[in-house]
Amino acid sequence: MRKEVLVTVALAKRKAEQGVDYSSRFGAVCPECGRTKMRVYHTWPWRKGVRVRDHKCDNPECLVCVLGLTIKSTQRDSEAVSA
């Protein structure tokens, strides 16, 4: 049982570390529970057509939330990318 818990926690941490895409329509989606529009914790300035944000899931039933992990999202500026 303990090994299963450790594996579950490790997988949740890995999902959070991999980050997610940011959508101007849906925001960032939690990779663990699927909640949309996670709370933005920090927004970084645009750099080379990419903006990075740090998010926190606020779903108390989500392991990412319980562990207090942050999730990075990336938003690409389509005009800057195609230029």
Quote the tokens at residue 66. Answer: 């319980």
pTM: 0.81
| Domain extent at residue 74 | 2-82
Which amino acid does the sequence have at 21?
Answer: D
Residues contacting residue 27 through CB under 8 Å, at least 6 positions apart: 36, 37, 38, 55, 73
Helices (H), 1-83: 2-18, 63-67, 78-82
pLDDT in tens, 16-46: 889 999 988 889 999 999 998 899 999 999 9
The dihedral over CA atoms of 37, 5, 19, 59, expressed in degrees to the nearest 10, equals: 10
What's the number of domains the chain is made of? 1
